[in-house]
Amino acid sequence: MRHIAIIGSGPAGYYTAEAAQKAFGQDVRIDIIDRLPTPFGLIRFGVAPDHQSIKAVARRYEKVALSDNVRFCGHVSVGQDISIAELQALYDAVVLATGAPHDRLLDLPGSDLAGVYGSAAFVGWYNGHPDFADLDPPLDGRDVVIVGNGNVALDVARILSKTVAEFDDSDIVGHALAALEQANTRRITILGRRGPHQIAMTPKELGELGRLEAASPRVDPADLPKEAADAQLEPGMRKSVTLLREYAVIPEAHRATKKVSIDFDFFASPVEITGEGRVEAVRVERTRLDADNRSVGTGETYDIPAALVVSCIGYRTPPIEGVPYEQGRGRFANEQGRILPGLYCVGWARRGPTGTIGTNRPDGYELVERIFEDIGAEDMGAGSGKAGRAGLDALLETRGVDLVTFADWQKIDEAEIARATSGHPREKFVNVEDMIGLRGD
């Protein structure tokens, strides 16, 4: 028997568990540990609430979760309730699948003003993450600035500009929907420090901005490179840039029928955030590209009014004491997923916050090949001498940790579905104590 602990119950964690089941067969016991009582990480808290088809992948993880040799251990905080060293003493392999839930910081003068958020907090707010449910972002102003040209910037712009009716079928939390309904937003500026050929936006997500009921995208034709240059782009990027070209020729008469304008401001890098007590404007420097397509400031600056700023410039994996870490890339230092003997990482914690949810599948399978090389080679029947889940339970009991099982989560899940209002698949609980209270005995 081999014992594997996976820390983090998001896509990378579940794909790793699935791969370990296949590689080790009945000779493995896998515990998936999560700080929260709810499984699936990014699926629940990162994927946009109006992207339900992407969330459907959770059914695949559920199949893994319900198998005999896999267990969900929710509401257990590694670092507080149990240390990595203790887990290593109990399990043959400990896998960090902790994702990248912290923001890369927008380190500018004024970025600590009220009304300035990183996307982890803002996305967490509308997705009902318990850490951010009370964020209460100011939506009273007409102007919002979003920093970054990736898919998260698009998610945030779309959520801020949808009508209430457009959230039917979504699992956006009630507090966010109510706040968005009252919002005064009229102009959302998306700042890109480079140009249309350097965006990190995929066509499906960018295309959604062109089909909004009450909002219309605007691109300045002068920012677009010559059309012939699009030929050198890979097909996905070419599609995205084609969409930007379409947005550049939307007639003013059509745009005038929409309440919200989503303005792409390319070659624009924020240099300061200003305001008295709360954000009032973003000072932006015009940029140009150097020979290596890096952005270079031109010295020309201008101000964009903003009552809310959301910086969507990427994420970081939080470091864990004693675990080697690469500061620059915001992930654990690793060699193909190996960190130290018996300690591994996978998904965004291994490679940084890139790729789609599906990218985590090969990532998990490849990591399990390494783990199998390290601990699966021979004599699994004899056991490894590690205590595994029995040891974890004993330790957590002495510490009074209230572990949440997958069956407990299913009760929370049922209750969320039962209290959904019409059109919505669920109404999430946002308070950990409320969720724990639902378990019964």
Q: Which residues bind ligand NAP (CB under 6 A)?
A: 147-153, 155, 193-194, 198, 200, 202, 205, 269, 312-315, 353-356
Q: How far is the CB of 362 from ligand NAP (least distance, A)?
A: 15
Nearest residue (CB) to ligand NAP, 152 versus 323: 152
Q: How far is the CB of 51 from ligand NAP (least distance, A)?
A: 6
Beta carbon of residue 375, minimum distance to ligand NAP (angstroms, whole number): 31
Backbone phi, then psi, for 273, in 5-degree steps? -115, 130
Q: How far is the CB of 349 from ligand NAP (least distance, A)?
A: 14
For residues 153 and 212, which CB has a smaller minimum distance to ligand NAP in the complex?
A: 153
Angle between helices 360-375 and 11-24 (to 10 degrees): 40
For residues 11 and 342, which CB has a smaller minimum distance to ligand NAP in the complex? 11
Smaller CB separation from ligand NAP, 78 or 284: 284
CB of 78 to ligand NAP, least distance (A): 24
What is the SS3 string spanning the chain?
Answer: CEEEEEECCCHHHHHHHHHHHHHHHHHEEEEEECCCCCCCCHHHHCCCCCCHHHHCCHHHHHHHHCCCCEEEEECCCECCCECHHHHHHHCCEEEECCCCCEECCCCCCCCCCECEEEHHHHHHHHCCCCCCCCCCCCCCCCEEEEECCEHHHHHHHHHHHCCCHHHCCCCCCHHHHHHHHCCCCCEEEEECCCCHHHCECCHHHHHHHHHCCCEEEEECHHHCCCHHHHHHCCHHHHHHHHHHHHHHCCCHHHHCCCCEEEEEECCEEEEEEECCCECCEEEEEEEEECCCCCEEEEEEEEEEECCEEEECCCEECCCCCCCCEECCCCEECCECCEEECCEEECCHHHHCCCCCHHHHHHHHHHHHHHHHHHHCCCCHHHCCCCCHHHHHHHHHHHCCCCCECHHHHHHHHHHHHHCCCCCCCCCCCCCHHHHHHCCCC
Query: What's the min distance (Å) between Cβ of 401 and ligand NAP?
Result: 32
**Residue number, 164 or 296, with CB nearest to ligand NAP:** 296
Closest to ligand NAP by CB, 141 or 148: 148
Q: Which C-beta is closer to ligand NAP: that of 203 or that of 319?
A: 203
* Least spacing, CB of residue 131 vs ligand NAP, in Å: 18
- Minimum distance, C-beta of residue 240 to ligand NAP, in the bound complex (Å): 11
Q: Could you tell me the smallest distance in angstroms from the CB atom of residue 371 to ligand NAP?
A: 25
Of the pair 78, 120, the CB lying nearest ligand NAP is at 120
Distances (CA, A) of 290 to 192, 238, 267, 296: 15, 21, 12, 7
Instruction: Please identify, using beta-carbon distances, which residue of 49 and 150 lies nearer to ligand NAP.
Output: 150
The CB-nearest residue to ligand NAP is 150
